[in-house]
Amino acid sequence: MPYYTIGVDFGTLSGRAVLVDISNGHVCASSVLNYAHKVIDKVIPKTDIELEHDFALQDPQDYLTVLQHTVNEVVVASGIHPDLIIAMAIDFTACTLVPVDANNIPMSFYPEFRENPHAWVKLWKHHAAQKYADELNHLAHQERTSWIDRYGGKISSEWLFPKLLQVLREDYNLYQKIDNFLEATDWVTSQLTGNIVRSTCTLGYKAIYHHEEGFPSSSFFKKLDERMEHVIDEKIKGVFKNVGESAGTLNQKWATLLGLSEKTIVAVGNVDAHVSAPAVQVIKPGQMLMIMGTSTCDILLSTIEKKVPGMCGVVYNGAIPGYYAYESGQSAVGDIFAWFVDHYISKETHEDAAREGLDIHTYLEKKASQMTVGESGLLALDWFGGNRSILVDADVQGMILGMTLHTKPEEIYRALIESTAFGKRMIIENYLNNGVEVNELFVCGGLANKNQMLLQIYADVLNKEIKMADSEHTPALGSAIFAAVAAKEMSGYQDVLKASQHMARIKDYVIKPIPENVERYHQLYAEFVTLHDYFGRGTNAVMKRLKRMKGNHQ
Amino acid sequence: MPYYTIGVDFGTLSGRAVLVDISNGHVCASSVLNYAHKVIDKVIPKTDIELEHDFALQDPQDYLTVLQHTVNEVVVASGIHPDLIIAMAIDFTACTLVPVDANNIPMSFYPEFRENPHAWVKLWKHHAAQKYADELNHLAHQERTSWIDRYGGKISSEWLFPKLLQVLREDYNLYQKIDNFLEATDWVTSQLTGNIVRSTCTLGYKAIYHHEEGFPSSSFFKKLDERMEHVIDEKIKGVFKNVGESAGTLNQKWATLLGLSEKTIVAVGNVDAHVSAPAVQVIKPGQMLMIMGTSTCDILLSTIEKKVPGMCGVVYNGAIPGYYAYESGQSAVGDIFAWFVDHYISKETHEDAAREGLDIHTYLEKKASQMTVGESGLLALDWFGGNRSILVDADVQGMILGMTLHTKPEEIYRALIESTAFGKRMIIENYLNNGVEVNELFVCGGLANKNQMLLQIYADVLNKEIKMADSEHTPALGSAIFAAVAAKEMSGYQDVLKASQHMARIKDYVIKPIPENVERYHQLYAEFVTLHDYFGRGTNAVMKRLKRMKGNHQ
């Protein structure tokens, strides 16, 4: 009997559903829908209320709209009988934080809170909680906590407690009315089942939770803020389960909305990065998956737990059962190229592209591909969205140097791509220097599918072969894999390894480094490292000082 | 009897003539014409021959075309009788070097040399002779020459001997056939009179000539290259005269071409920067004139001769008789803004400007004017064309830091303008630190006329009032003043001071610094200085290394 599962992947700007044949991972139908409100970073919708610098919010209603529309569409389009669709699972950006009341309703749904920025979902790239992260980190080191080293010595401003602390400090009245802070992945899953189940994956990476040690102590939280002594009991509610487990079955409302059976099993919510590993057969130690999109996230499997400074976290069973999964990442990657291409390409360059019948990205890629390594004389730092790994610092910014009056747009475009590859090499060398092996590289994500030159640059800068996902929907496929595992009694897949062996999809060719480029990039990388340390490690903290001056204008 | 003079100013991209009433400096007629070939920096005209990096050539035929057209036009347009036009003078960019044969004909006019880049005029901003400048400077310090300190310790790659040495080394065959290397100002003047007269102003600033000590010794030149032992006698020919003196009268050919009398006196050729001083009444010690255009040049008058590192030169009688004139400059200023505005402004931004009925520069200026100091979080180094003062280094490049995904075009535009103001402050503080007073600032040039915000930023960064030229044609007016002095028997102006008192034109209001901005710019300037020294003084010579890698691709 052929069975099917559905995976739904919620990204930064859109969500997509796939309906997958569990025998071979074939995607029978897929559907994508953009969020109506995209990223809310300027004004609160339908108001004139301007947001402060570094705010990045979303409207949870957009998630429900996307969920209903895309799942419905794949069910209808595939023509598969609902009884054969045995399970579904969702994955999400994280930490994307939904503040809800006792009825599990997002605070921003209430008219009385709609004008309050803190009632809205704080998207992963909301960086306005940096000072609270700084405070938390300072205390963690002062108290010599054991857990801080699991997170590379720094808790990111993007994570749960800095964001929660921001709400508490900036609007304690609202904070008191919030009953629970849920990861969006857990909140959407709870809508489907009616049960509040929290994934230990997001808890581990984003909420300082350890499968044996639990959370930081209540005395730690009390020192951070008197009012946080009981924060875990008061604000982090729900049942904890591991990824691959079942969170329940579809409730009547959503079974009807989606056109599925109430028997459909819903797996525990997952994170878009981590969920992707089995979808590209990243299932062994030393394998690293780079998920490349607006930002980039890396998942590295290992048998050992090491204290690696500047990575985002290491969680046992975090991606594949039985292994430690290290997470690291770059806050802005595709976002940087989009910034440049959307706002800094002249009419003339657009016309040149049109003359060649190419869209602007393809045109720039073509021109940049014809350049040799070092030909532009440019070097950039990829910190346009701050630096997640290995500096864990939202207060640094981008830099480009080497411009002359002859510098061309395609040269800047290539330099920006190269800067992200150098940032990646910094991350990999940091693992190696700390005793964690990185043997094989895999890539997935929208950016990797679209840009051949980018992958060649990465192979050359990293001096490693790169294997590619053979799916445009890798995270959603990963969710479908986890759904199949959650429904193991029907699927027959006892664990993720087994499901991955049947359902993963990778291309049958690899990108190989070009020795001449490797050598030249080695030189450029040395320059990158010098500037990285100069601007990033405090020798010249000009970026922080400029940001402070900028802040004074708010 | 009312008399008139004509001044012709040859800039980087165009030339302009003015016909001036010598009694009051009133411009009766003016005419501008662009050079047909502009700056030749990619391919030699009518060939496929690509030029190497940093070449910047011109076609001397363009100068003659502009001369004939513009002078003719002002004579005709004014309706003044040629007998009342008692003198004319020209000024030029420098060092802009014309290699000629024994008949004073530019080598590039001969078909057999037309495909040879070294046969063409090397424009001031030809930077491809840097390695020859380095070699000359190294030897000058090794030999402990006295003259090197008159040029801030460094001879620029833009000047005469590095350019000449480049021809000698890269094409000795052509070098042997060249009879004379003339400044363009002297070459055009020689066309008018038939006499080869060299201005001691250009000789002083660009050819290491001193009114008492003469040139570097033949033994020095021999050490630089055996073949240069007699370079002065062999390649620097002509009569030396001071600015304000007569170079002769118009020859028949040019009197006819221009519609002027053969009695018309032609003054000694001058430099566009230096010639401007009397046109804005910069005639006293401590007064500094900033001539702002594609690049910026400063002329500072003083009673004392000091060794100021990094300035371009100090020449007695160099601008105003009786004073030392220090020259300093920034290789690219307006050029940087043009680079950005011409190539990095999106269609959307152009449309926004059009909606407001503004040209793009005005639109960006308007948006940028609304920002407060430090609001963008950006900081730039203004080295897109290298750094003339105070580093005298063509091998450094531009830098921008502080970019985020929210950085807007007008923010970059403003940061680029600010970077040039910081560069200027560096120059002024360098004079002060070396005991040369700077009391009053004056500004002229195309950029100063067009951009009110720019002048306010300069006043704020420099914390000084700025007085402005009240003419769009300041250098040409300056030439007309020097022409009047050269014809002193008819004009009655015995010296430049006298002529300036009657003919100079400055506005009756000044730009005043805004105290709040001064304070904030003081902070930003401190950051600029740190980065200037880090990238410019060898702490991190990444820019030079990148340029070397880039060069390897040629």
Helices marked H in B208-359: 218-224, 231-235, 252-258, 334-343, 347-355
Report the pLDDT value the prediction gives residue B367, as an integer from 0 to 100: 96
Q: Which chain A residues have a beta carbon less than 8 Å from that of B535?
A: 401
Interchain pair A403, B398: CB under 8 A: yes
Low-confidence ranges of chain B (pLDDT < 50): 554
Q: How many CB atoms lie within 10 A of CB A456?
A: 18
Number of A to B CB contacts under 8 A, please give it.
161
Residues whose CB is less than 8 angstroms from the CB of residue B489 and which lie 6 or more positions away in sequence, other chains included: none
> Any CB–CB contact under 8 A between A536 and chain B?
no
Distance from CA of B47 to the nearest CA of A (A): 21
Q: Rounded to the nearest 5 degrees, what angle is found at the Cα of B276, between the Cα atoms of B271 and B281?
A: 150
Structure tokens at B347: 């269609």
The interface predicted TM-score (ipTM) is 0.83
Q: Can you tell me the distance from the alpha carbon of A541 to that of B498, in angstroms, rounded to the nearest whole number?
A: 54
Amino acid A491 reads S
Q: Rounded to the nearest 5 degrees, what angle is found at the Cα of A310, between the Cα atoms of A308 and A312?
A: 90
Distance from CA of B110 to the nearest CA of A (A): 30
Report the pLDDT value the prediction gives residue A551, as an integer from 0 to 100: 80
Residues whose CB is less than 8 angstroms from the CB of residue B53 and which lie 6 or more positions away in sequence, other chains included: B128, B550, B551, B554
Q: Which chain A residues have a beta carbon less than 8 Å from that of B550?
A: 374-377
List B residues 23-62 in contact with A (Cβ-Cβ < 8 A). Answer: 41
Q: Lowest-confidence range among A290-304, A308-322, B33-47, B248-262?
A: A308-322
Q: Can you tell me the distance from the alpha carbon of B292 to that of B455, in angstroms, rounded to the nearest whole number?
A: 10
Distance from CA of A406 to the nearest CA of B (A): 8
List B residues 277-336 in contact with A (Cβ-Cβ < 8 A). Answer: 332, 335-336
Closest CA to A259 of A498, A503, A29, A62: A29
Give residue for tokens 């000091």: B306
Closest CA to B527 of B378, B404, B353, B366: B378
> Going by DSSP bridges, is the β-strand pair B270-271/B85-92 parallel, antiparallel, or unpaired?
parallel
Report the pLDDT value the prediction gives residue B1, as an integer from 0 to 100: 63
CB burial class (10 A; 0-12, 13-18, 19+) of residue A153?
middle
Q: Can you tell me the distance from the alpha carbon of B314 to that of B300, in angstroms, rounded to the nearest whole number?
A: 9
Mutation target to probe the B interface, by most B beta carbons within 10 A, among A40, A549, A552, A553 is A549
Nearest-CB residue to A402 (from B41, B527, B543): B543
Interchain pair B401, A553: CB under 8 A: no
Report the pLDDT value the prediction gives residue B321, as an integer from 0 to 100: 81
3-state secondary structure of A484: helix
Nearest-CB residue to B399 (from A349, A401, A406): A401
A116-157 residue pLDDT tens: 999 999 999 999 999 999 999 999 999 999 999 888 888 989
The per-residue DSSP string of A138-150 comes to HHHHHTT-SGGGG
Mean pLDDT within A517-529:
98
Report the pLDDT value the prediction gives residue A445, as an integer from 0 to 100: 87
Looking at B372-474, which runs of residues are DSSP E strands?
379-381, 398-403, 440-444, 466-469
Which residues are A199's β-sheet partners?
Answer: A241
Residues whose CB is less than 8 angstroms from the CB of residue B194 and which lie 6 or more positions away in sequence, other chains included: B248, B251
A363-422 residue pLDDT tens: 999 999 999 999 999 999 999 999 999 998 889 999 999 999 999 999 999 999 999 999
What percent of chain A clears pLDDT 90, i.e. is strictly above it? Answer: 91
Would you say B289 and B275 are in contact if contact means Cβ atoms under 8 Å apart?
no
Which residues are B17's β-sheet partners?
Answer: B8, B31
Q: Can you tell me the distance from the alpha carbon of B285 to that of B302, in angstroms, rounded to the nearest whole number?
A: 4
Mean pLDDT within A253-266:
97
Q: Which chain A residues have a beta carbon less than 8 Å from that of B352?
A: none
Task: Print burial letters for B87-107: b (CB count within 10 Å at least 16), e (below 16).
Answer: bbbbbbbbbbbbbbeeebebb
The whole-chain average pLDDT of chain A stands at 95
Structure tokens at A16: 């997509």
Whether residue A390 is preceded by a cis peptide bond, meaning omega within 30 degrees of 0, is: yes
Q: Can you tell me the distance from the alpha carbon of A271 to that of A293, in angstroms, rounded to the nearest whole number?
A: 14
Would you say A440 and A467 are in contact if contact means Cβ atoms under 8 Å apart?
yes
Q: How many CB atoms lie within 10 A of CB B13?
A: 12
**CA dihedral of residues B236, B241, B242, B245 (deg, nearest 10):** -140
Residues whose CB is less than 8 angstroms from the CB of residue A393 and which lie 6 or more positions away in sequence, other chains included: A154, A386, A387, A536
A490-505 residue pLDDT tens: 999 999 999 999 999 9
For residue A103, CA distances in Å to A177, A268, B7, B153 come to: 12, 20, 84, 77
List B residues 83-122 in contact with A (Cβ-Cβ < 8 A). Answer: none
Would you say A535 and B363 are in contact if contact means Cβ atoms under 8 Å apart?
no
Nearest-CB residue to A384 (from B339, B405, B534): B405
Q: Which chain A residues have a beta carbon less than 8 Å from that of B372?
A: 553
Whether residue B95 is preceded by a cis peptide bond, meaning omega within 30 degrees of 0, is: yes
Interchain pair B399, A404: CB under 8 A: no
Which residue in A has a C-alpha nearest to residue B349's C-alpha? A343
Q: Which chain A residues have a beta carbon less than 8 Å from that of B339?
A: 405, 407
CB burial class (10 A; 0-12, 13-18, 19+) of residue A523?
middle
A468-492 residue pLDDT tens: 999 889 999 999 999 999 999 999 9
The per-residue DSSP string of B172-202 comes to HHHHHH--EEEEHHHHHHHHHHS--EEEHHH
Report the pLDDT value the prediction gives residue A450, as an integer from 0 to 100: 76
Which residues are B315's β-sheet partners?
Answer: B325
Q: Which chain B residues have a beta carbon less than 8 Å from that of A401?
A: 381, 397-400, 535, 542-543, 546
Q: Which chain B residues have a beta carbon less than 8 Å from that of A384?
A: 403-405, 407
> Any CB–CB contact under 8 A between B172 and chain A?
no
For residue A20, CA distances in Å to A80, A98, A496, B23, B96 come to: 10, 29, 16, 91, 71
Q: Which chain A residues have a beta carbon less than 8 Å from that of B375?
A: 550, 553
Looking at B93-187, which runs of residues are DSSP E strands?
97-100, 121-122, 180-183
Structure tokens at B365: 């200026």
Q: Which chain A residues have a beta carbon less than 8 Å from that of B401?
A: 381, 397-400, 535, 542-543, 546
Q: Can you tell me the distance from the alpha carbon of A67 to that of A73, in angstroms, rounded to the nearest whole number?
A: 10
Element (H, E) at A167: helix A160-170
Q: Can you tell me the distance from the alpha carbon of A39 to that of A37, in angstroms, rounded to the nearest whole number?
A: 6
Nearest-CB residue to B550 (from A349, A376, A385): A376
Distance from CA of B267 to the nearest CA of A (A): 35
Q: Is residue A290 scored above 80 in pLDDT? A: yes
Q: What is the pTM of this model?
A: 0.84
> Any CB–CB contact under 8 A between A502 and chain B?
no
Higher pLDDT, B182 or A321: B182
Q: Can you tell me the distance from the alpha carbon of A493 to that of A499, in angstroms, rounded to the nearest whole number?
A: 5
